[in-house]
Amino acid sequence: MLIYKILLPAEWSEFEADGAFGGSPFDRSSGFVHCSSRAQVAATAVRFFAAEPALVVVALDTRRLGAAVRWEDSPDGGSFPHVYSALPLDAVVGVHPVAGASAVDAALPPDQR
């Protein structure tokens, strides 16, 4: 199964250079890396990244993340995938540069369960 992490371009550059991503400041303050399912990622992008002119959405293979992935209820409703470890670069199976939050849904392939 694939889950998605929305990154700023500078975060993606650091992820590539470091070989892992320990999370944004918000992720680190939460104690886990916030991710979304395919069905959730477009709404997440609009809600949290609407002002950003460019984003990078990475598709992550949950099999490569193992037990670090936990589906947990959000106070806003729904169950979201949270990753309780740094994201390793080898878990990235797709990289989607996107021209803003409103373009996320069209930029990603359909759900591939």
Q: Which domains does the chain possess?
A: 2-103 (3.20.170.20)
Please write the tens of the pLDDT for every residue from 71-99.
Answer: 999 887 789 999 999 999 999 999 999 99
Mapped onto helix, strand or coil, the DSSP state of residue 43 is helix
Please write the tens of the pLDDT for every residue from 15-48.
Answer: 999 999 999 999 999 999 999 999 999 999 999 9
Please write the tens of the pLDDT for every residue from 59-72.
Answer: 999 999 999 999 99
Q: What is the pTM (predicted TM-score) of this model? A: 0.95
CA distance 86 to 77: 25
Predicted local confidence at residue 113, as pLDDT = 53
Q: Contact, 21 vs 86, CB < 8 A? A: yes
